[in-house]
Structure 1
Amino acid sequence: MEHSADGLEQLSVVRRCFESGKTRSLSWRKSQLKALQRLLVEREKDIFRVLKEDLGKHQAEAFRDEVGFLGKSVDYHIANLDKWVTPTKISIPLLGFPSTAQLVQEPLGVVLVLSTWNFPIALSLEPLIGAISAGNAVVIKPSELAPSSSAFLATNIPLFMDNEAVKVIQGGPDMGEKLLGHKWDKIFFTGSPRVGRVVMTAAAKHLTPVTLELGGKSPCIVDSISGSGDREVMVKRIIGGKWGSCNGQACLAIDYLLVEEKFTTTLVDLLKTTMKTLVSEPEHISKIVNKHHFERLCSLLDDPLVASSVVHGGSIDHEKMYIEPTILIDPPLNSEIMVREIFGPLLPIITLKKIEDSIDFIKGRPKPLVIYAFTNNEALKKKIVEETSSGGITFNDTLIQYVCDTIPFGGIGQSGFGKYHGKFSFDTFSHGKPVVRRSFLTEFSFRYPPWDEDKLQLLRYCYKFDYLRIILHYLGLKKY
């Protein structure tokens, strides 16, 4: 695919391909998903290489979060696609008797996927899987901040997939702006709230539906769980949820911890001990993506009150752009580190008088993508579910919700809107079109004027009781 503005000329090719009806074919959809399977298998080493070049990801992390995750997702779509595309029956009220209705899934059209740099392969191809399953044509604009991954997609997608229906266009923000100037049938964006607003503004011009995956400051509530074994597991999962996935540069990474004062020292000691085993060596965690983000993270520690709150780590290697995994206790709540999403290896701990205070703390801030909570207190779990709002909640683990095909992934409020993964991806890129078929067999005159009191009463009975539909249902005549 062209790497310049000339690539925009290819958009008409994608539009014509969709309008030809080719992408609606179930056999075509499956063939493209299987082609994507082959790409993931045959180019696995190349994917590992580009993720190492862009982000310093170890092969195991790259497989867990990107290659393996995508392979599992493709398998799930292929296994379930026949069922998803089958029209579903809908019941019809008495006023429509005798009628049948179906919900028919149709593709939206030509989709633009704007992906981001922290999972540059997964966050480009996972939306593609859903869009192809739903029968759309797709244009992907990968992030220029992961140049090796972007070039890999631009080179390999045309070799494996239908080059008329799936295009990769490389470029920076200027190319993104040009793409947003065109009319799309759906835009799927992963990135920051700031850019998300730009995407929405551009989409509004054409009334284009948008899915925004934005992230935010995802908190982790840590109750004083008893039992050394449970605590050891909990601490591993916290470390994995902060530094074990792109070194904290992930929308679903833990941003900060909420802990009771009396448990703080114990938790910090457990974290320090376990971090020596899991994330003490730079080769086991991803690198900071570039100099701009490295300097941004360093600036968070420039505030003397923030720097004085560091209780572990904090060392910085400017030449290697390395920041040691760092723990802070009670940095000022109005400091940048507690106002902005951190997106890096710094972990603030906010102490509370009692763990229940965590709910008001979370409610006083923008809605996060996910709330993590480690607790065996069922009453606390109930309060978190009922009294907070977030894209999702995960108890006693981190990140696991992301790899579940049966769970929708998405945000709410400032953390985004719309959802995907599994069937939810198919639905995101589909329109459920109701199709009603009515017979000429029967006609109800009370549906029409001239109106009188008898017709009004008949309409009341139809809407309130609908006895006929109930009777027909029990007689086995469910199609009515």
Structure 2
Amino acid sequence: MVVSHMVPAHSLNASAARLRTRQRSGLLCEFGARQQALTRLDGAIRRAETEIIDALTRDFRKPTFESYSTEIAFIRGEIAQTQRHLKRWMRPRRASTPLFLQPATSRVEFEPWGSVLIIAPWNYPFQLALAPVISALAAGNTIMLKPSELAPHTATVIESIVAAAFPNGEVETAIGGAEVARDLLDQQWDHIFFTGSTRVGRLVYQAAAKYLTPVVLELGGKSPCVVAADAELKTTARRIVWGKCVNAGQTCIAPDYVLVDNQIKDKLCTALSHEIERAYGPSPLESEDYASLISDNHFSRLAGFLKQGSKEGRIFSGGRSDPAGRRIEPTIIRDPSPESPIMQEEIFGPILPVLGFDHIGEAESIIARNPNPLALYYFSRDRKAASRFLKRVPSGGAAINDTVMQVGNTALPFGGRGASGVGLYHGRWGFESFSHKKGVFSQSLLLDPPLRYAPYSERQLSIIRKVLGF
């Protein structure tokens, strides 16, 4: 049930024009204005914390701990880090100047793109809506934000937070579904930031091409988790299960499937099953620490994977579901066919295929069957072996001996490559993605050698050859 109004197309046209006018007026030109905007946003979030948690519970029964830690605290931490470093980020960066151009100076200035469009997904509907807003504000842009219609209660809270934090109209919201998204993409923006599926990301890219608009696309893919024979089993199982089951597996960088050395495959499957029971009890479908799936359609898609796994006798543990509550218990599917749908599509839920390998090259070959993943995980006591593996297997990001937690370090860039994404954000990387990097060359008026000016002579050419050295 959608609980907020839909924005008509003519209103979106007016909003886009207003945002462009406000940005050009210099509303967010100065450091102080940007800092104040971020402070107001942080205050509005702090005051709305109870409403945010309640909305996430109503949208998909997200546990309070996860609502706070993966949504609210993440965003407030990003704001704090941005405010701490923003003055330094905004400062022009000196660039070297070749000897033959002296006595000039060179620098790189960070200029706002202008008015930007941010389209957010449903899986972390608060965090993934406001994280790019923080970066865009820090860079001095005005923003049109479209929260996901599939998390309608959270979208309504975001709308009220934006209204409270930005009375001057630095940020506006557009509430609605695919029609509103299409209308927004018909507008001319100076930058577009999209988080969602690869399929929709391609449509956004095509729409951006009409105006040659720069984009950041945060997509997904099948993020593999490789477990070497020397991995510490208890810790490995605990971190894999947490990464797979937080938010009921609806995480773009969740471990999609596990590739484990055959020497320890049986032990790992048992350890994973024990960890699932330890975390969520003997009846995970009743656990208050376990979220629901976002929609009936998503539930039906994942239930199809379960049905196929059951038919083939591949379910090692789990497999039960609750259609009314849109819940599927954490499930381990052992040795599915590499050609099966569960090994071809991003799972985006609490179902974990586990496949064995005899040598590491076999694991690399399995990973290479799919496009470059958004994340790559490797568990081993041998750090050198882990580093060698990461160098051979391309991915958007990677973690050694952990899952998902790399996203918590905003000093690291976050983004995919190829089908898993285009561009980066978080921390300084987000500031730079929402900035045009302008090269500025400033020449002195004290000297003006005639060497470069026409009419040219053989002597001028000879001197230039000597100065350049080639």
Settle same-fold status: TM greater than 0.5: yes
Give the count of matched residue pairs. Answer: 461
How far, CA to CA, are the matches of 2:288 and 2:121 in structure 1? 23
| Cα deviation, residue 294, structure 1 | 0.3
Aligned residue number for residue 71 of structure 1 = 76
Which residue pairs with 2:328 in the alignment? 323
* Matched residue, 2:254: 253
Give the SS at the match of 2:307.
Answer: coil
Determine helix, strand or coil for the equivalent of 1:234: helix
Give the match for residue 274 of structure 2: 273
Question: What residue ranges of structure 1 are gaps of 5+ in the alignment?
Answer: 466-480
Q: Which residue of 1 aligns with 2:157?
A: 152
Shift of 1:344: 0.5
State the 1:231 CA deviation: 2.4
For each residue in 1:359-404, what CA deviation from the matched residue of structure 2 results, as whole angstroms up to 9, or x when unmatched? Answer: 2222232100010010122442232122111101110011111011
Aligned residue number for residue 230 of structure 2:
225
Q: Does the CA-based 8 Å contact 1:108-1:186 persist in structure 2?
A: yes
1:4 counterpart (7, 20, 24): 7
1:18 corresponds, among 23, 26, 39, to: 23
- Any residues of structure 2 matched to 1:23-38 within 5 Å, and which? 23-38=28-43
Name the CA distance, whole Å, in 1 between partners of 2:86 and 2:347. 38
Return the letter of the residue paired with 2:76: G
- Mapped to 2, the partners of 1:88 and 1:343 lie a distance apart of 41
SS of equivalent to 1:103? strand
Structure 2 residue identity aligned to 1:234: T
Q: What is the distance in 2 between the residues matched to 1:146 and 1:384? A: 38
Corresponding position of 1:478: none
SS, match of residue 144 in structure 2: strand
Task: Please tell me whether residue 301 in structure 1 is matched to residue 306 in structure 2.
Answer: yes
Compute the displacement of 1:450 (Å): 4.8
Q: Contact between 1:306 and 1:331, CA under 8 Å: does it hold in 2?
A: no
The partner residue of 1:209 within 205, 214, 235 is 214
Alignment deviations for residues 424-480 of structure 1 (CA, whole Å, 9 cap, x no partner): 110010011122211232233333455555444433343349xxxxxxxxxxxxxxx
Q: Secondary structure at the match of 2:122?
A: coil
| 1:59 match | 64
2:242 aligned partner: 240
Distance 2:57 2:104 in 1: 59
SS at match of 2:288: helix
Instruction: Return the letter of the residue paired with 1:27.
Output: G
Q: How far apart, in 2, do the equivalents of 1:455 and 1:257 lie? A: 66
Aligned with 1:112 (options 105, 111, 117):
117
**Aligned Cα root-mean-square deviation (Å):** 1.7
The 1:305–1:318 alpha-carbon spacing in structure 2 relative to 1, beyond 3 Å, is closer
**CA shift for structure 1 position 65:** 0.7
Distance in 2, Cα, partners of 1:438 & 1:33: 37
Alpha-carbon distance in 1 for matches of 2:329, 2:223: 21
> Which amino acid in 2 is paired with 1:45?
T
Q: Distance in 1 between matches of 2:304 and 2:236?
A: 30
Q: 1:2·1:169 contact (CA, 8 Å) conserved in 2?
A: no
For 1:85, the equivalent position in structure 2 comes to: 90
Unaligned runs of 5+ in 2: none
In the TM superposition, what are the counterparts of 1:310-389 in structure 2 within 5 Å? 310-389=315-394
Matched, 1:171 2:173: no
Taking only the aligned residue pairs, the percentage that are identical comes to: 35
SS at match of 1:24: coil
Looking at structure 2, the residues matched to 339 and 93 of structure 1 have their Cα atoms a distance apart, in angstroms, of 51
Please give the secondary structure, in 1, of the residue aligned with 2:193: strand
Give the alignment's TM-score, normalised by structure 1: 0.92
Residue 197 of structure 1 aligns with an amino acid whose one-letter code is R
